[in-house]
Structures are given as structure tokens and as C-alpha cells.
Chain A
Amino acid sequence: MNTTLTTCPYCGTGCNFYLLHDDIGQLTGLEPAANHPVTRGQLCVKGWNAHAFVGHPDRLQTPLIRKNGQLQPTDWQTALDLLHDKLRTIATRQGPDSLMFLSSAKVSNEENYLLMKLARAGYGTNNIDHCARLCHSSTVTGLVETLGSGAMTNSLSCFAETDLIFVIGSNTTEQHPLIGSRILQAVQQGAQLIVADSRRIRLSQHADLHLRHQNGSDIALLNGMMRHISQEGLEDRTFITQRTENFSALQQALEPFTPEYVATITGLSSQQIMDAARLFAEADRAMIVYAMGITQHSHGVDNVRAVSNLALLTGNLGRPGTGINPLRGQNNVQGACDMGALPDVYTGYQRVADPQIREKFSAAWGVPLPETPGQMSTHAIEAAAAGKLCGMLVLGENPVVSDANQTLVYQAFEKLDFLAVIDIFMTETAQLADLVLPAACYAERDGTFTSTERRVQRGRKAVEPPGQARADWQIIAELLRRCGLKGDYTDPAEIMNEIASLTPSYGGIEYSRLEGEGLQWPCSDNTDPGTPILHTRTCTRGKGHFSPVTYRPPQEMPDLEFPLLLNTGRTAFHWHTGSMTRRSHLLDREERQAFVEINPTDAEKYQLAERQQLKVTSRRGSVSVRARLTERVPPGQVFIPFHFAESAANVLTNNALDPESGIPEFKVCAVRIEAC
């Protein structure tokens, strides 16, 4: 049995395991890495099944071109020539900004870098983005403003060194199970736990305080806690004086958020808010952990600012066991952002709008570069639906199922003149494409991934890709070559050397240094051991900036016509649009179809029964799902996972976007429910 050490393809925790493969190149299972600092010989259920989809018969094996309405096999030369010709023609005739490139948090750093380079240097547009737009764009915007860096400030090892963990909007044991287990271990060791989540998630069973605040009322809760901390004199005066700015503005903004006022918005009691404030502020070392419950709102950036304010107010930054810890959902969503697969920055968050930075990249790549920042993916969908985009290249994403308001997304893709998709399966998005290219999956190619704690790690090839499928970096390199740019990379290590030469925070990342535990950026040169904790002496931007925010409600709240609040998210057993996990036998068997969690009180009110097939309707559409009666959701709220294309939760969701980050409000919209 042969073994290949690699990084898990699912969430951003960064677990490592050995893929086991036999002499004929088939995977026979996997084994967690016993001494890896994150994995420690343990995996979650998706990790234990990460080999299962790799050899699935549905894998794409040949390039496909649409002819007479049907996708038909073709050869690589024809496919790549056509792809380049289409993109080049659109760029020439309609202008480069008529193109949109969607990169992927599932492909490597090197592949994200190459696609970003292709969009900018190859076809002349900054219109490149990826699914971080749908998850942590609010974090990047918010934390760059307040701290100077959008990344998780601390490391996973800090959970063993903390006195209190405040989890707000993260179902950690299901979505980052090996981080969730660290939280449970910390609680076993005596750390205190506050969980703010409207759902009764597993962590809430272990919490000292469970705050079931109304979805979308986070700012009220956080401001209320901060006001009470100030009133009680529990803020960290020394930290505020020495390390922060704009404190008086914060104090002013907090004034209206009395416990009584906050109670009316959140649905909590005044006492709960005061208890949470005191508990949090009295801990010497407190970590704030958050995920999509904070970011996926039409006020997601303000939510992040409020989280940041709370950490700064109590001096919980720059030390072990503290910090602002936004958990990245995809195994390389941190890396895809780091690599500049975003419309306004190159690698390492170097701004497109900065002429000196632009000149640096222009000189390195040997072509002039576009000056105007590009479009966010969510705006690009709107633009396409309005007929203002002509061509799109989608790499390893499935917006038809993952983006808010599916009807709009279908309209967008139908209006495009040309759509190309690179993927490992025939996703719902690929089915709409004019050209589909088969890619190697994580087990079939080399590359690096950057985890939620900024740990850059190797992914390694264990087996050959099926049929004619190729590694994404090889596909993109072919397009770069056709654009007259360097395309003769021998391997991803060479691409990483180019990235390091252009990216200060990755300056010391090279493959020879990644053989052990990886390196946590910033890592400026090849003697730099990496940075487990950010903002230790000063923040990346200098002073930590208090950025006061005020509460505004979600854009669509329940009313008489649509009386229930719909919350969407993931389950423990499936991954996003299900293309991998629904093709993994055990995971598929565990959750085979879409369901809606309904509180028994609501079930009684609307006369609904367990396992009954129901029609759920929002202003944007309807889906059919099976009822699951549970106290997990509070009365008035229902929850539907978004994994199931045939009952897609995103038919219902509201594409109301945060004005700054462009993230949709996946966590709140209004629905009604009736029997089918």
C-alpha cells in the first residue's frame, strides 16, 4: 500500500492525511497524519471520506464543446484554441471588462495566481473574483480597515491557551469539526464558552451562556455588550490608549445601545446581554470565533467591525489565547484571496489602484495592466443578467447552486455569449456551458493550500487524473502561452517562486521549506519562521482602529405574507453544492435529500408533520423539501441546507448585497411554508 501525504480538500482547518493507493493507482482509503500539528491523528467525517469521490464514474474525462445544443467530446488543442479565441474576441470587440473570471477556493495557490495573472495580463481585465465573495469578503473589508489584515489573527494552538471562547455565528463542530473539537477540549480543561447562535448547535450544549439572538441582530448584541463593558469600567484602558485610535467615536456610537434597547432588537433579556458582557470582559484571554453567521448579511462588514471593536475594547489581540478568529470555510479560500483572485488586489492584498504596485506587476509580467479595479462576482452576476457581460470562465465553482437567488443566476448565464467551465464533475453550472474542461482533483495534482490560520501547506499528487483530465495549472498555463505570456512552468514549485518574488507576505515560501508543518504567513524571506500570531506589538496598519457601527435590520424580514425567517447553511456531512460529498457513498447515505428544520411550535401552528414533503416559498421562488421537526431552530425560524441542487435553498435566498463587500444576505430572508 503506497502513501501520499496531502492536505484535506474540504474546510479551511488544514488537516493533513495520507492517501493510500494500490499498485494500479486506485485509492483504497486514507489515514490521518499522526504528528501534524493541526491533525494530530484525527479527522472529521468528511476527512475520513475524502478519498471517496476521486474515482467516481461521473468524473469528467474529456474536453466537451457544445454543438447543436449538446456537449460533445473534443480534443484539448481544439478546446483550448476555441477558449482562447472566444475570450480574445470578446476582449477585443466588447472590451476586456466584458469578461469575468471566477477562480476557486478549491484549487491551489499556484492555480489561483495563474488565473489572476491570466485575467489581468492575458486578457486585460481586473474582473476576477471567487467564492470568498460569498463567505469572508466582509471579513477582509472589515478587518483590513480596523487592523490592516483580513486574516485570522491567531493560531489553532491558541485554543489550548485561552480562558474564554466567544463563538458567534459559527457552527464549529459541524463546519470546522477539528476546530470545534478544540473548543470542546478547552471547555473540558476549564475554559468558559459563550455561544451566540439562534440555532441550538452542539457547542451550545457545552456553553456557559447560549444567546439565541434574532438572526441579523449581531450588531445590537455586540454594541450592547460593549456599552455595558464600558459602563462597568471593564474595558482594557492600557490597550486602548497604547494600541488603538478613535475610541471616543466608539463610545458615542454605543450610547443608545442600552441593555433594554438591545433586548428589544435581539429577543434576548437585558440580563443575558449584561452577563455576556461581564463574562467576556473579565476573561484575561478571550478568543472570538466567527464564520458565516457574522459575514453573510447585508450589513456583514459592519458585523465584522463590531467584532473587531469588541476585541480592541478588551485588549484581546496580539497575545496567545486571544484574537479575532474568522474561520475560513474552504481549504484554500484564504489562499485564493492571498493570491489576488479578487477584483481590487494582486497577491498579498497589494492594491490594483496603487500605480507603484501596478508597475511592479507590469514589469514582472511584461505587459501593461488595467488600472480600474474589477467587478465583484455578485455584481458580475447582476451585470450578466442585465446583458452587460459577454463571456465568463468559471474555474471549479458552481454558482447556479451556491449563489443567492438562483433565478437571477440562471438569467445571467443564459444571457452570456460564452461560458466556459473547468471542473471535475458535470456541475449544474457546467451543464450550461459552451465549453467544459476536465480537471484533475486534489488527489491528482501538486500545489499549495493556505489554511484558516494562514498555514501554507503542500497538496501532493497520489494518483493519475481520469482520462484526459489535466491539472488546472496546466490548463491555465496553456492559455497564458496563447496570450503570449510565460506558460512553460515545469511544476507548481516554479510558480510559487514567482509568487514569492512578487508577494512580501509570501517572500519566504518555497517548496523546500514546506516539507514539515508548513509555514504561516507573513513569512518575508527564507530565514523567516513564519507568524503564528498577528498584531503582536502593533497592528498591521499601526494603531487598531475603532470603527463604530450602528444597527440596521436585514433587508427582508418576515411579514404577514412570508411569516418565517429562513436561515441557510451547511450540514456536517455535505460540502457546499454537493458535487463531491453527494458522490461519496457514506456521506450521501447519511443525508440524501433536502430538508427544512422547523420548530415543533411552528409545525403545530401550520399543521405540518415530521417527514412531510413541504413547499417553501420566498419572493424569489419555491422549493420542495422534507420537514424535520426540531428544537434546534427557534420558533419563527426555519433552516435549509444549500447542498441539494434539486431543492436548492438558493432559489429562495435574497441577493441583497452588503454595499461594501458585495456579500449576499444568505442568513436572512422571509418565507412561507405549505404542504405540497
Chain B
Amino acid sequence: MLKQLDRADIDHLLDSLHTAYRLQIPQQLPDGTRHLSPYTPTSVLSLSGEIVHRKPTSFFFPQVQKLVSIDPTGHARDLQKVEKPLALFGLNRADLMGIQFLDRFFLAAPADDIYLSLRQDALLIGLTGFSGPDKSFLPLSTGNCDIELVALAGHWLALGHSTIGKKLLDPYARGLNSELEELRQRDENSSGDLELLQQASHLLMNDLVPDSFWAEIAGRCILCSGCNMVCPTCSCFCVQDRCFEETTERSRVWDSCQFDAFMREASGHNPLGTEALRTRRRIHHKLAADIERWGEPGCVACGRCDRSCPTGIGMMAVAGEIVKRYGAGRR
């Protein structure tokens, strides 16, 4: 049943969640960076603005994640137990798609137990509608969260997409279906970015983008690896072992396909041995290989790589360039 929350109801909902969950809500860090930070009763909740800067998938798959700890006798020690499950509040459609994408990767049998331990009881709360920068419109989710709050002018429609989500919304007043329908109509017309990705994808899959293009884009890459670090669907990691006096720790660390060593073999041979090949892979993987494998692109159009790229060659910029140069408009 559709519900409706006012501002006080949201505070009430958050307050009720934070006893059972490690609740993270969008807040402004000191320089204005919008970030999912731990909820406290005095937290200042940010209910609209840019997409949160740190990708929410990092809560389940952080930059550095301990996998196993071994004591001097060779026995594995238990890792720190997760005391309470996570609840992430304020996820937009792209972020929910990113989590869904990563779930498929890590939870396909056999499931990655570290990821599973953090993800299995986690609560996802979407925030869509008029909750973008300057309260601009953000498209509704595809239902891949527990609760979705859809921002309107002075109140929020609330949808319970899961059993627990519906239960949590029980106490609140009923919402107007007509308001939701109006937004859904609007929703269908707001997918320009995804359309651009589809066009670029089509060109890539039909091999219409020449090697010289990749050499040119690679020439502008300063090898920061930021595009991979911020991407919510990037799942590549490398393994780091560290021997301390009392323990040996194995962790996984976010990796980047833009590094020469990412695929360099012990012999020195590298199947992706040039920057042009690696740049091509970055785009091709998301817009062609993922489609072949999963039936959908690996880019959820969250915009983070475009924002973090120091030289303007993030996914949307490159897709735009591909379509401009090699797409239908060119002919």
C-alpha cells in the first residue's frame, strides 16, 4: 500500500531504524561533499542534492577489506563479527542499480561470504523524485530496494518494495496513487543518459569505433584510476598479504584495469599492454562485454567517473564523443 511521510515522519523512521541497524544517511561533510555517514540523533540529513560522492557499494565491498587473519600457529582467526546489519538511506536509481549489479557478481553461487555477511540483512532505502540538485527530479527506482521515498514538494510518497519494507512503513498514513502515477509518466521521459549509452554501445558492439579513437582518448588519461575507484559496478580487486608480528592478514583491495600491472604476466607479456587498449577495455567492458554477459550494460549512468576524471574522459564524455563522431548524426 502506498504511504505518505512528512519531514517529522522521516525523522521518526530514521530514529526507529537506528537501534536495529548501522544506519547511514546522506550528510554534508565539512567541504560540502555529500556522503553517506553514520546517523546520530543530531545528524543533519541532506534530503536533496548531488548523488552521494562515495559509491554506496563501498559499504559491502570497501576499498580495503580484510578477508582472513592467520595466527602464528597457522589457524584462521575469526574476523570481527558484524554486530548490526547496515541500513543505507538516500539511494537513487543509479545507486540501486549499482548494488544490484554487484550483488549478481558477488552473490552468484558460490556466494562471496564476506560480501554476503554485510549484504544479507542490509536494508536499502531509495530516495527519488524531487531530491536531486536544487530539488531537481530523479527517476523512480525499479523496485530493487526495501523502501523507496519519492520526494514531492512538501512530503514523500513511500513505497514498501520488500516484506520488511512494507512492515516498517505500517505506521504511516496512506499516500495518493495519482501523485505517484504522475511521476511515473514523467519518469519515462527522463532517461537521456541511458539512451546515449545505448547508442555508444551499439557502435562498439558493431566495431565502428577505430583504434585511433582509443589512442587519442588514452593520450588524455593521466592514469589516476579514479574512474574505477568511483564506479559502483567495478568489482575487480587484488589481494594484499601483510605479515605482522602476531598475525598475517589477507585483504582485498580495489584494483583498476587502467594499470599496466592489472594484466601483466610474470613473463612481462601484457595482453593489455598499451594505454589505448586499456582505455578501450574500460569502456568496452561496460558497454559491450557486460551486455553480452548479463544482457545489460555495466554502466548505471551515475556520473561519478565523469566527476572524478581530471581530464574529462569519464564514461558519459567518451560515450558522447563516440556517438558524435561515429553515430547516426555523423552520417
Contacts and interface: CB of A to CB of B under 8 A. Distances in A.
Interface of A: 1-3, 5, 16, 18, 20, 24, 27-36, 41-45, 47-48, 51-52, 56-57, 173-174, 177-178, 180-181, 184-185, 188, 202, 205-206, 515-516, 572, 585-586, 589-590, 611
18 contacts: A5-B31, A28-B63, A29-B58, A29-B63, A30-B63, A33-B33, A41-B308, A44-B222, A44-B224, A51-B64, A52-B64, A181-B311, A184-B310, A206-B220, A572-B222, A572-B223, A586-B259, A589-B261
A181 B64 contact: no
A586 B309 contact: no
A542 to B, nearest CB: 38
Given A5-B29, A585-B253, A590 B35 contact: no
Contacts of A18: 29, 33, 35
B210 interface: no
Interface stretch (B91-99, B192-200, B235-243): B235-243
A594 to B, nearest CB: 15
Given A44-B224, A202-B219, A590-B261, A32 B308 contact: yes
Nearest 4 pairs of A and B residues by beta carbon: A29-B63, A181-B310, A35-B32, A34-B33
Given A16-B31, A590-B261, 20 more contacts: A1-B37, A3-B35, A3-B37, A20-B62, A28-B62, A29-B62, A30-B63, A34-B53, A35-B32, A36-B31, A41-B33, A42-B224, A47-B224, A48-B225, A57-B244, A177-B224, A184-B222, A184-B310, A586-B255, A590-B259
Interface in B1-60: 24, 29-35, 37-38, 50, 53-54, 58-59
Contact of B312 (A35, A51, A188, A611): A188
B163 interface: no
Nearest to A173: B222
A1 B312 CA distance: 30
Interface in B252-279: 253-256, 259-261, 268
A585 B34 CA distance: 29
Contact of A56 (B219, B242, B245): B242
B33 A42 contact: no
A44 B310 contact: yes
Given A41-B53, A44-B222, A33 B63 contact: no
Contact of B242 (A44, A57, A515): A57
Contacts of A206: 219-220
Contacts of A185: 310-312
A586 B238 contact: yes
A5 B222 contact: no
A585 B63 CA distance: 12
A180 B222 contact: yes
Given A24-B80, A181-B311, A35 B220 contact: no
B229 interface: yes
A31 B259 contact: no
B307 interface: yes
B225 A585 contact: no
A44 B311 CA distance: 11
A585 B33 CA distance: 27
B143 interface: no
Given A16-B31, A184-B220, A586-B256, A178 B53 contact: no
A42 B54 CA distance: 12
Contact of A178 (B31, B219, B254, B310): B310
Contact of A585 (B32, B238, B309): B238
A185 B63 CA distance: 29
B226 interface: yes
B194 to A, nearest CB: 23
A137 B144 CA distance: 59
Contact of B307 (A27, A41, A57): A41
Contacts of B245: 57
Contacts of B240: 585
A42 to B, nearest CB: 5
Nearest to B267: A611
Contacts of B261: 586, 589-590
A505 B170 CA distance: 62
A45 B224 contact: yes
A33 B220 CA distance: 23
Contacts of B37: 1, 3
B268 A611 contact: yes
B35 A31 contact: yes
Nearest to B259: A590
A177 B32 contact: no
A36 B229 CA distance: 19
A171 to B, nearest CB: 11
A469 to B, nearest CB: 15
Nearest to B268: A611
Q: Which of A3, A36, A185, A206 is the most central at the interface, judged by chain B CB atoms within 10 Å of its CB?
A: A3
Nearest to B253: A585
Nearest to B249: A57
Given A20-B63, A589-B238, A31 B309 contact: no
Contacts of A44: 222, 224, 310
Contact of A1 (B38, B220, B229, B309): B38
A28 B33 contact: no
Given A31-B54, A42-B309, A572-B223, A590 B31 contact: no
A205 to B, nearest CB: 5
Nearest to B30: A5
B269 to A, nearest CB: 10
B222 A181 contact: yes
Given A177-B310, A586-B255, A35 B33 contact: yes
Nearest to A27: B64
A90 to B, nearest CB: 35
B242 A48 contact: no
A20 B242 CA distance: 20
Interface string B300-321: 0000000111111000000000
A45 B309 contact: no
A45 B223 contact: yes
Contact of B31 (A29, A35, A47, A177): A35
Nearest to A187: B220
B30 A34 contact: no
Nearest to A37: B31
Contact of B243 (A2, A57, A178): A57
Contacts of A180: 222
Contacts of A28: 62-65
B237 to A, nearest CB: 10
Contacts of B309: 42
A103 B3 CA distance: 64
A330 to B, nearest CB: 19
B77 to A, nearest CB: 14
A572 B221 CA distance: 12
Nearest to B313: A184
A188 B144 CA distance: 40
A34 B34 contact: yes
A236 to B, nearest CB: 32
